[in-house]
Amino acid sequence: MMGEQVLLILIDNIIAGIAAFLAIVVWVKTRDISWIFIILSAIGFYVSVVYKTLMLFGIVVSNIVVDMIFNYIPIVLIIVALTLKAIKNMKR
């Protein structure tokens, strides 16, 4: 059971790390505000995965407020990005 959980968190870390790396690469050339929020969401997701990893290994103690922030910030950033993109597309 614990081995499966460690394997899943390892896969999460690898995938989130790749997404965060690519987000940083794209950020350098991005001028569109909606894309910046998507990039911040990818980075926020990576931070969330790292936080969950640290909790799994007992390095940090779970806190409901921090848990909620790390769980919901990436999706809130995506909502902001999509809203900004929709507003921008309606003006055309």
Summarize pLDDT for 3-56 with one digit per residue, the tens: 888 899 999 999 999 999 999 999 988 889 999 999 999 999 999 999 999 998
Q: Is the pLDDT of residue 92 over 90?
A: no
The region, left, alpha or beta by phi > 0 then psi within -120 to 50, assigned to residue 62 is beta
In this structure, the number of other CB atoms found within 10 A of the CB of residue 4 comes to 8
Maximum distance among all alpha carbons in the chain? 53
User: Average of pLDDT values for 64-91?
Assistant: 93
Q: Is residue 1 predicted with pLDDT exceeding 80?
A: no
| Token representation of residue 12 | 């999460």
DSSP 57: T
CB atoms under 10 Å from CB of 9, counted, come to: 17
